[in-house]
A and B are shown apart, each in its own frame.
Chain A
Amino acid sequence: MIMVSFYILGIIILLAAILAIYARNIVTAIISTGVISLLVSILFLLLAAPDVAMTEAAIGSGLTTMVFLYAYNRIRRIRERNDG
């Protein structure tokens, strides 16, 4: 059971990684990165590390993604101002 869920998660993680690398839209990529972290944190739970899972979920998928999006947002705004 664990192994099955692991394999499914693993494949999704890898696909998400590829998506993060190659997605046209940078926002998609950022979200995919967050998804990777989230799924990895599930793996941490499987590995009996709830502390790490919590942290990874909170920091890796939550906060980091937000920081990413904020940064990207600023870049976009610079671009807009520049174009405008």
Chain B
Amino acid sequence: MREMAFLGFALVLLGFWAMLTRKNILRIIIGFTIIDSGIHLIIVNLGYLPGRTAPILEKGMRVGDLSKHFVDPIPSALVLTAIVIGLAVTALMLVYAVRIYERKRTLNIDKYRELKW
């Protein structure tokens, strides 16, 4: 579905917007998760074929021409992995945020500029 893809891209862009403009690193992390959701949507959408069902065999289905009834299982599988990875990264980022706040007492990304050039 084209609309679904655009919703995904819209989420990606909104996430980028958050990441590029908001100063609070928690918001930046939120931006990341929004982008992640958008990407997942895009991926799953690419595996979708209109009018088909989820690739789960149920009793009574005839094995043989299932490929005409099911959507693509591969994108789903990829998204599963991507979601878990996203969780891992988000968790680490949040721990980073905690630790940075512990050290610097601010969540403003503009204040983390002791290293430059």
Contact = CB atoms under 8 A, between A and B. Distances in A.
A and B touch in the complex (CB under 8 A): yes
Interface residues of B, number: 50
Interface in B9-53: 10-11, 14-15, 17-18, 22, 24, 26-27, 29-31, 33-34, 36-37, 40-41, 44-45, 47-48, 52-53
B40 A56 contact: yes
Identify whether the interface residues of B are mostly helix, strand, loop, or mixed: helix
Nearest to B78: A52
A37 B94 CA distance: 18
Contacts of A63: 87
Contacts of B26: 26, 29-30, 68, 71-72, 75
Interface in A46-80: 47-52, 55-56, 59-60, 63-64, 67-68, 70-72, 74-75, 78-79
Interface of A: 3, 6-7, 10, 13-14, 17-18, 20-21, 26, 29-30, 33, 36-37, 40, 43-44, 47-52, 55-56, 59-60, 63-64, 67-68, 70-72, 74-75, 78-79, 82
Interface of B: 1, 3-4, 7, 10-11, 14-15, 17-18, 22, 24, 26-27, 29-31, 33-34, 36-37, 40-41, 44-45, 47-48, 52-54, 56, 71, 75-76, 79-80, 83-84, 86-87, 90-91, 94-95, 97-98, 101-102, 105, 107
